[in-house]
Amino acid sequence: MQKFSQECPELFQRVDMYAHECFQDYDEGCLDYAKVDFSELCTFLEYIELREYGGGERWKEEGSREKLALRFYLSKTIAEKTPAIENIPKIYLDFASQLHEHDIVLSFNWDCLLEIALLKVGKTYTYNWDDAQAIKICKMHGSVNWRLNEPRYIGKQTNIIQWKSLRFTEGMMTNELFHTSIILDYKVWHQFSPLGELEPFLVLPGYGKAFDVRSNAVLWYKPEFAFGFTHDVYIIGLSLAPDDFFIRSLFLSNLPYIDDFSGVEGRKIFIINPDHNAKKNYEFILSRGQAELINEKFTTEHIDLMKERIKNV
């Protein structure tokens, strides 16, 4: 929130006012945003947007000013904290190096560290599965380098960024998502301010998620085929928050039935997660003998496991 408050004080004051209201903090001082429940704040902002929508005051189709500005500064901070291509930790480069064109990565993160690592090791990736020779990245919660719909300007103003369509509207979607690689370089962010061309599509936590995920519903539909016909499945570091009902539902709807229709011999589900609640969270597949829990932090040793499993396929 620091960057938000410094660069866009007027909009931040509105969000801060709602945050005080949400958490019933009537002190005029600043909230400690490191301690507030971010999911609860996002849910409250969703309510504010709903109220504006009902009164005919909604800012634009992509969301309220408060939510769009919050997404922008979250994305800008994430981009700033993401290592540059020359500083990527070795474990990420090792992970990217062992991926091949048949791999599908479902990511619930907003950052672009995987994309940068793949560029570093000279591998191509795709977001919309249209390139059979590229690694498929499904960003289930959106990404800092995506936006919903093309920018709409009045007058002679033109886009600075060349946006590429994810082409989801060629199927069942009515609103298109676009992506760009130019803002993987954090220096580019200094050219933009909130509520402009750079309008990151992030699915925020909380109960507004049920509305936002409809914009990238294609990515929640396709993994059923990914789970069905891949060989091994690796679930890395996902803690499964109690209110993340969409991820829970995705796994409940797919993982228990992997062996029922795939016909793939020798496949296995590996859950690599240090969380002390991991065994309880994944009991629905662990109890069936379909998965192995490695209750550890993800390391290069697990990457070696992946490589060894690939050799034996």
pLDDT value, residue 152:
75
pLDDT value, residue 57:
64
CA dist., res. 66 & res. 46, Å (int) = 10
CA dist., res. 198 & res. 1, Å (int) = 18
Beta bridge partners of 105: 137
H and E: helices and strands count for the chain: 14, 10
Buried b (16+ CB within 10 A) or exposed e, 123-156: bebebbbeeeebbbbbbbbbbbbbbbbebeeeee
Q: How many residues does the chain have?
A: 313
Spatial strand order in the sheet of 125-126: 104-107, 135-139, 125-126
pLDDT value, residue 155:
53
**CA 50 from centre of chain:** 23
Q: What is the DSSP string of 71-97?
A: HHHHHHHHHHHSPPGGG--HHHHHHHH
Supply the Cα-derived Rg of the chain in whole angstroms.
21
pLDDT by 10s per residue, the chain, length 313: 888 999 999 889 989 889 988 888 767 667 888 888 899 999 999 988 888 777 666 677 788 889 999 999 999 999 999 999 999 999 999 999 999 888 999 999 999 999 999 999 999 999 988 888 899 999 999 999 999 998 876 555 667 888 999 999 987 788 999 999 999 999 999 999 998 899 999 999 988 888 899 999 988 887 777 777 677 889 998 777 766 788 888 888 888 877 655 566 778 889 999 999 899 888 888 988 878 999 999 999 999 988 888 776 6
Q: Where are the domains of the chain?
A: 2-82+143-217, 231-313
Phi-psi region of 51 (alpha: psi -120 to 50; beta: other; left: phi over 0): alpha
Which residue from 21, 61, 27, 64 is spatially nearest to 41, judged by alpha carbons?
A: 21
Helix (H) or strand (E) holding 104: strand 104-107
Task: Give the E-state strand segments of 120-236 in sequence order.
Answer: 125-126, 135-139, 142-148, 164-165, 177-179, 200-202, 233-236
Residue pair 233/272 in contact by the 8 Å Cβ criterion: no
3-state secondary structure of 5: helix
Which residue from 179, 106, 97, 117 is spatially nearest to 146, judged by alpha carbons?
A: 179
Is the four-CA dihedral 42, 46, 52, 53 of positive or negative sign?
Answer: positive
